[in-house]
Structure 1
């Protein structure tokens, strides 16, 4: 009986320097794999239910690759690694635009370009930390000191925002809507303390004490402080607005889950429910918080125009008065740009934690 020639399922993924192929086969020994003229040739013999089969396929890569390859054979698959000649991201795997029917993405190993860069940075940091730990004993004491410092910082912030959240909730149940209008006068001192203390997060990101990205951290810090100190703190008329309640409540709702998550991570404890809330609570809170901040800016624009606060006059010969309300109109646009940047960052964090599992395509 003549062997039947079949095309196996092939799943692929890429990194900056490499291409990975996973060929799903069973009962295969000594596959014949080679690269000639930028074309990968694969041939293997396997034993199926109806007799012996020949599995074969060819792939012409989109861009040049090195002729040497490595492969690893397991009971159910063949893993192939091919090195790119030039280190950059490909838009697709094959030269032909239409994807072959037997080829599909390997979602277990799939990363987009920005994720790959973050992964490389994380691996490099992990490698450096490992070298330091192996070469120096004092690093253990430094690591413990860093953990203690981060634990205490997150604990203080958690207690501060919890105080705000609990007090606002109790006042809401007791006073109802009346609690909206004196939120600033009762909660501002603690909110000032927490938001000024948050500068520590920027320092940690800059000094690589934590892996937090600098840009999203800066956006959140300066965005909140502009609202707190400039919009609300400098205008008494704004301090009795109902929007203050919603800004403070949404900020504290997010932080009472974020800070204990980081606090427990310092002592290698993970509470799955807390982890899920930390990576999910921002979905309603962050857009609503940005909307509340935008409302406060809109309400403050006529007040700044009337009072002339923070406005200034350009020197002679221009003699033009520049109103601060003009900058607030620009800041409204910046709020929603910042929303996009931070929303994308938070979404990618959540996807890495709770991303889709592997999907098979026939």
Structure 2
């Protein structure tokens, strides 16, 4: 019984990783082609659908962590996935005015390269029990540059969306209302920007620790 469950887990995670890998490959390919042919203003339109699908698929990784299907702790998975979902849906989808910003290009390229490496690494590990040494090194090294560029792009896009939040009043709930409750999407975004200040160094430090552990283990083997 235990062997059947383990096999089912490996098959599921193998399929999951390679399907999402393909989604991010589409994002990278379309963004680079569009950037070359039409400029950064057209990148979002070219990648919108695969970006939304690939990033939304990551939501199940929170469940994976919660039920112990993977080793990643929820404390690391939840903030990373939720922040990206927020930027994907709460910023880019919700405020079309910023879709032509040059930071969209740096965002999707940083995200897609990171995820192509990550999902192929775990896809190979689940399918064959191991991944090549060079892919292990990429998995735990490319974030040194891509994480800061991705975070900078996320913060920059949220910041640039602030005036449109105020102007449109989108997702805000004003008093008086039957629920006797108010919510301001603008101040919510300010709060999220504030969370990035301690959150980003914490996540970077966690990833540095994972890098040291993974590369040390690889050397011993």
1:216 aligned onto 2:79: no
TM-score (norm 2): 0.90
Q: Could you list the per-position Cα deviations for residues 216-245 of structure 1 after superposition, in whole angstroms to 9, with x for gaps in the alignment?
A: 111011100111101110112122222211
Contact 1:254 1:281 in 2 (8 A): yes
In structure 2, runs of 5+ residues without a counterpart are: none
Please state whether the residue corresponding to 2:70 is helix, strand or coil: coil
Contact 1:261 1:275 in 2 (8 A): yes
Alignment map for 1:343-358 (pairs within 5 Å): 343-355=204-216
Which structure shows the bigger proportion of residues in helix conformation? 2
Counterpart in the other structure of 1:91? none
Counterpart in the other structure of 1:145? 8
CA distance, structure 1, for counterparts of residue 87 and residue 131 of structure 2:
33
Counterpart in the other structure of 2:32? 169
131, 152, 156: which is aligned to 1:291?
A: 152
Cα distance, 1:208 vs structure 2: 0.3
Contact 1:155 1:263 in 2 (8 A): yes
Change (3 A) 1:299 1:150: same
CA distance, structure 2, for counterparts of residue 320 and residue 352 of structure 1:
47
CA distance, structure 1, for counterparts of residue 204 and residue 171 of structure 2:
31
Cα distance, 1:197 vs structure 2: 1.0
Greater relative contact order structure (CA < 8 Å, 6+ sep):
2
Counterpart in the other structure of 2:42? 182
TM-score (norm 1): 0.56
CA distance, structure 2, for counterparts of residue 185 and residue 168 of structure 1:
9
Contact 1:204 1:210 in 2 (8 A): yes
Alignment map for 1:248-327 (pairs within 5 Å): 248-266=108-126, 267-315=128-176, 323-327=184-188
CA distance, structure 2, for counterparts of residue 242 and residue 353 of structure 1:
34
338, 346, 350: which is aligned to 2:199?
A: 338
CA distance, structure 2, for counterparts of residue 247 and residue 197 of structure 1:
18
Counterpart in the other structure of 1:157? 20
In structure 1, runs of 5+ residues without a counterpart are: 1-137, 357-362
Cα distance, 1:182 vs structure 2: 1.6
CA distance, structure 1, for counterparts of residue 173 and residue 194 of structure 2:
22
CA distance, structure 1, for counterparts of residue 139 and residue 123 of structure 2:
12
Please state whether the residue corresponding to 2:39 is helix, strand or coil: helix
Counterpart in the other structure of 1:83? none
Contact 1:251 1:289 in 2 (8 A): yes
CA distance, structure 1, for counterparts of residue 137 and residue 7 of structure 2:
27
Please state whether the residue corresponding to 2:176 is helix, strand or coil: coil
Please state whether the residue corresponding to 1:169 is helix, strand or coil: helix
CA distance, structure 2, for counterparts of residue 355 and residue 265 of structure 1:
18
Change (3 A) 1:240 1:147: same
Which structure shows the bigger proportion of residues in strand conformation? 1
**Alignment: residue pair count:** 214
Q: Could you list the per-position Cα deviations for residues 298-329 of structure 1 after superposition, in whole angstroms to 9, with x for gaps in the alignment?
A: 1111111112222222338xx99764222211
Please state whether the residue corresponding to 1:290 is helix, strand or coil: helix
Q: What value does the CA root-mean-square deviation take over the aligned residues? A: 1.9
Contact 1:301 1:325 in 2 (8 A): yes
Cα distance, 1:296 vs structure 2: 0.4
